[in-house]
Amino acid sequence: MIRDMRVEDYDCITELMNLLHKLHVDARPDMYMDVDSVYDRNTFLEMLSDKDVISIAYEEKGVVIGICFASVKYKSGMVDMKTAYIDAVVVREEYRNNGIAKKLMNEVEK
């Protein structure tokens, strides 16, 4: 089930974001550096309350197994047009190749 992220998801979201960030660090150490946490709790809370940030989670049996963050902009170049920019999408490794990321992306498109 896809739902909006909640405050109580912080630890789980942090775990997933740290997994994604590690992939970035391993692949491009020239561009990314190790950090303890991608988002601190205050940043996460700000993102949840920001109407221009889409913060959704894919949950199965009470466990968050995939997430997506997207930033909404109301100008694309010089044209007035609502556009979502994907900031992060990640699915737990053991659940990959089941269409979860695609479902998250489709939800962002709505």
**pLDDT the model gives residue 14:** 93
Give Cβ neighbours of residue 4 (< 8 Å, ≥ 6 apart). 48, 55, 56, 57
Give this prediction's pTM. 0.85
Each residue's pLDDT tens digit, 8-52: 999 999 999 999 989 888 899 999 888 888 888 999 999 999 999
Looking at the DSSP assignment, which residues form a beta bridge with residue 53? 71
Each residue's pLDDT tens digit, 62-101: 999 999 999 998 877 778 888 889 999 999 999 999 999 9
**In this structure, which topology does domain 2-109 adopt according to CATH?**
Aminopeptidase (3.40.630)
